[in-house]
Amino acid sequence: MESQENKIKSLRRSIIDMIKVRKGGHLGPALSLVEILYVLYEYILNFNPKNPSWKKRDRLIFSKGHGCLALYAILAEKKFIKKSDLKTFCEPNSILGGHPEKNKIPGVEASTGSLGHGLPIGVGMSLAAKLNKEKHKIFVILGDGEMNEGSNWEALMTASKHKLENLTIIIDRNKLQAYGKTEDILSIEPLKSKLESFGSEVKSTDGHDINKLKKILKKTPFKKGRISALICNTTKGKGLNFAENKGEWHHKSNLSEQEIDKMYNFLK
C-alpha cells in the first residue's frame, strides 16, 4: 500500500503536472494546502464522486480559489475528475481554469477566485442545513491574506448569531500574501482572539501534520453551538525548498523546462 508520504508527494507532483502545462500558476498557495486537503478528502468529508450533488454530502467551499491546483490534484485523486484533465489546465476547452468554477468541475461547490466570497456562501449553506435539520457539515477553506476582506467578518458575525455549529472554517496561515508578509501588509493578528471574539471556537495546528489535522478535524464542532475555526500554520511553497516561504513563488509565469524539472526532482 502506498505510504502517506508518497501520496502527499504524488499530489504535489500532480500540481507540477498542471504548472507544466501553463508554464506557471499559483504554486506557493497550492503547496501549503496539500496536507489539509488530503486529510479532509481521505478522512473527514462524506462524498460520492459518482454523484457529486448527493444531498447528504459534506460541503467544502474552497474560498481561497487561487490555491485551486491543490484542489484539482485531490479531485483527480478521488475520481471527481480524470487525471488527464490535469494536463489540460487553463487550455481553452479545459474544465480546469486558474480559479475553480462550480458549473464546470464536479465536486466544486462554489465558483471562487475573488476573495471574501466563500464564507458568506458557506454561512448560507450552513443555515439551510440547520433549517432543514440536515446532518451534513460545511467546511470553508480561507487564505490568511483573505482574512483582510471585511465580508469574512460580516459572515462570522452572522454565523455566530445563528449558532452554526455545522460550519468549520480552515485558515491556511502561511503568513505570506502576494506582496509580502501578511503582518507587514495588513496584520491579521491576534487572529485567534479576533476569531474568538467573533464567536468562533478556535484551535490551531501544524497544517502539514496529517495526524494532528485528522485528530482535530474529526471532532467538529469544537464546542456545541459555536462555529469551529482551525488555524493551520503552514509553509507557502511547502515541499520545494527553493520556493518555501518565498513571496515570489506566490504566482509564477514563463517557467523554464529546467525549473520544472527541478521541481519534479524534489518530489521524487
User: Footprint of another protein on this chain (CB under 8 A)?
Assistant: 101-103, 109-111, 114, 116-117, 119-129, 131-132, 150-151, 154-155, 157-158, 161
CB neighbourhood size of 3 (10 A)? 8
What is the arrangement of strands in the sheet containing 167-173, beginning at the earlier edge strand? 59-62, 138-143, 167-173, 227-233, 200-206
Q: DSSP per residue over 27-45, as a string?
A: -HHHHTTHHHHHHIIIII-
What's the min distance (Å) between Cβ of 43 and another protein? 25
Q: How far is the CB of 160 from another protein (least distance, A)?
A: 12
Q: Note if the bond before 221 is cis, omega within 30 degrees.
A: yes
Q: Which is nearer to another protein, 16 or 159 (CB)?
A: 159
Question: 89, exposed or middle or buried, with CB in 10 Å at 0-12, 13-18, 19+?
Answer: buried
Q: Is the CB of 110 or the CB of 213 nearer to another protein?
A: 110
In what helix (H) or strand (E) does residue 185 lie, and over which residues does it extend? helix 182-185
Minimum CB distance to another protein smaller for 11 or for 61: 61
CB of 127 to another protein, least distance (A): 6
To which residue does cell 482572539 refer?
Answer: 193
**Do residues 236 and 12 make contact, with C-beta atoms less than 8 angstroms apart?**
no
CB of 136 to another protein, least distance (A): 10
- Minimum Å gap between C-beta 200 and another protein is 15
With respect to another protein, which residue has the nearer C-beta, 31 or 121?
A: 121
Closest CA to 79 of 44, 115, 106: 106
153 versus 222: smaller Cβ distance to another protein: 153
C-beta closer to another protein: residue 103 or 256? 103
Give me the least distance between CB of 122 and another protein, in Å please.
6
Query: What is the distance between the alpha carbons of residues 113 and 140, in angstroms, rounded to a whole number?
Result: 14
**What is the grid cell recorded at 137?**
457539515
